Amino acid sequence: QQQVKQSPQSLIVQKGGISIINCAYENTAFDYFPWYQQFPGKGPALLIAIRPDVSEKKEGRFTISFNKSAKQFSLHIMDSQPGDSATYFCAAVNTGTASKLTFGTGTRLQVTL
Amino acid sequence: DTAVSQTPKYLVTQMGNDKSIKCEQNLGHDTMYWYKQDSKKFLKIMFSYNNKELIINETVPNRFSPKSPDKAHLNLHINSLELGDSAVYFCASSLGTVETQYFGPGTRLLVL
């Protein structure tokens, strides 16, 4: 059972465009939602994260939008660059329990020139 | 300056063999993890240790046995390797909470 659903599976965006990746979750006990970025041959690295008490968080060109009632959150990459080409994973965790990150299935982003 | 390191980086072996992957972190973290990433890039946690104590043990065949000799090390031993064990195995660590995890570079295991 996939507790965090992620879409699309792959995405091609032109340089300068906006990349949007969506995630939806089932467990209302989740209270922390990070995004990880993984370049080929490397381990995932934390990119940006949000808690459900805010609806949006922005760090540079990366923005998370969070809709608690819909149990959905999304990553927006503004002015996408070829260097952003990577696989992006959303994740969710209930920090109050013996916690583990539950990852989405990943989105492979390719930014073309 | 490597934060989380894994050895070996690549591991090619025959079915039925036993192999180990080592992980070390120099971040002073107290929690370490093993993840498996399959060919479709899906990341799934296998084990988690906090201060050398096992706290998460997902549904993993008992051929997989983690060992934490100290807080800075978490090794993964795999017995009787099978074709389906072929994957990339990532070690990760965090301090205090699960929220921010630092991943190692991965060990690419290929079972022939």
Each residue of A72-92: pLDDT tens digit?
999 999 999 999 999 999 999
Question: Residue A72 in 3-state DSSP?
Answer: strand
Nearest Cβ partner for B99 among A49, A89, A106: A49
One-character DSSP codes across A26-70: --TT--BEEEEEE-TTS--EEEEEE-TT-SEEEETTEEEEEETTT
- Could you report the per-residue pLDDT of B57-75, keeping only the tens digit for each? 888 899 999 999 999 999 9
Residue ranges in chain B whose pLDDT is less than 70: 1-2
For residue A96, pLDDT beyond 70: yes
Q: Do B41 and A32 touch (CB under 8 A)?
A: no
Cβ of A43 and B106 within 8 Å? yes
pLDDT of residue A68: 93
Residue A1 has pLDDT above 60, yes or no: no
Bridge partners (DSSP) listed for residue A91: A103
CA distance A110 to A11: 6
State the CB neighbour count (10 A cutoff) for residue A44: 28
Q: Rounded mean pLDDT of A39-65?
A: 95
Q: Which amino acid is at B22?
A: K
**Helix or strand or coil: residue B83?**
helix
Query: Ramachandran region of residue A13, left (φ > 0), alpha (ψ -120 to 50) or beta?
Result: beta
Spatial separation of the C-alpha atoms in residues A8 and B38, rounded to whole Å: 18
- Determine the straight-line distance between the first and last CA of chain A, rounded to whole angstroms: 38
Put simply, the answer to whether A41 touches B104 (Cβ < 8 Å) is no
| Residue of A41, A101, A108 lying closest to B98 (CB–CB) | A101
Say if the Cβ atoms of A99 and B97 lie within 8 Å: yes
Q: At B71, is the secondary structure helix, strand, or coil?
A: coil
Quote the CA–CA distance of B18 and A96 in Å, as a whole number. 37
- pLDDT value of position A80: 98
In this structure, what DSSP letter does residue A111 have?
E
